[in-house]
């Protein structure tokens, strides 16, 4: 990893943790082998993202939850060298309110969220990655199958260079 992305990925604080509920999974049904596979896929796709994705990019994030429409509407996230610069609703171009802006991550923060799920031994982690750039296109993390509505569920698409 480049120093910039390494520091972004290791700083799981404000950005990535704002996405995640503060629950520790007590009981892992995924199994160590599955977590090892998830970790291996994460590492492989992080390397692909780091080596092939542009430093400045935009992409669309859609969160799935029983939430107000301001959260579930697709959002275009504009990122420059690991830092989110803009977040606008895809349908009308309006800026995302600051009060919910932490809900819409950069790709780097998505990798952090997946790593956090692995580290916390989430009950279920399912991730699909983009073939070209390696960024997560579908993320489902259920930290504790006994708790309702603490899952992280989102999809992404359309990563493109931002000049």
What does the alpha-carbon distance between residue 12 and residue 6 come to, in Å, rounded to a whole number? 11
CB atoms within 10 A of CB 30: 20
In tens digits, the chain (163 residues) has pLDDT values of 332 332 333 333 334 444 443 333 333 344 546 999 999 999 999 999 999 999 999 999 999 988 899 999 999 999 999 999 999 999 999 999 999 999 999 999 999 999 999 999 999 999 999 999 999 999 999 988 888 777 889 999 999 998 7
Spell out where the chain has E strands.
56-63, 75-80, 83-89, 124-129, 136-142, 152-161
Give me the residue spans of the domains in the chain.
3-161
pTM of the model: 0.79
Contact yes or no for 154/62 (Cβ under 8 A)? yes
């Amino acid at each position: 990893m480049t120093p910039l992305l390494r520091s972004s990925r290791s700083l799981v604080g404000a950005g990535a943790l704002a996405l995640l509920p503060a629950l520790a999974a007590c009981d892992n049904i995924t199994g160590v082998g599955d977590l090892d596979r998830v970790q291996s896929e994460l590492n492989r796709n992080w390397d692909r993202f780091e080596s092939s994705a542009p430093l400045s990019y935009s992409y669309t994030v859609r969160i799935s939850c029983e939430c107000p429409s301001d959260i579930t509407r697709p959002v275009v996230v504009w990122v420059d060298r690991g830092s989110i610069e803009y977040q606008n609703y895809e349908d009308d171009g309006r800026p995302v309110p600051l009060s919910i802006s932490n809900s819409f991550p950069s790709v780097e923060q998505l990798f952090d969220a997946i790593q956090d799920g692995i580290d916390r031994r989430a009950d279920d982690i399912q991730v699909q990655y983009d073939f070209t750039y390696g960024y997560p296109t579908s993320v489902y993390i259920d930290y504790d199958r006994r708790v309702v509505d603490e899952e992280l569920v989102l999809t992404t698409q359309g990563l493109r260079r931002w000049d």
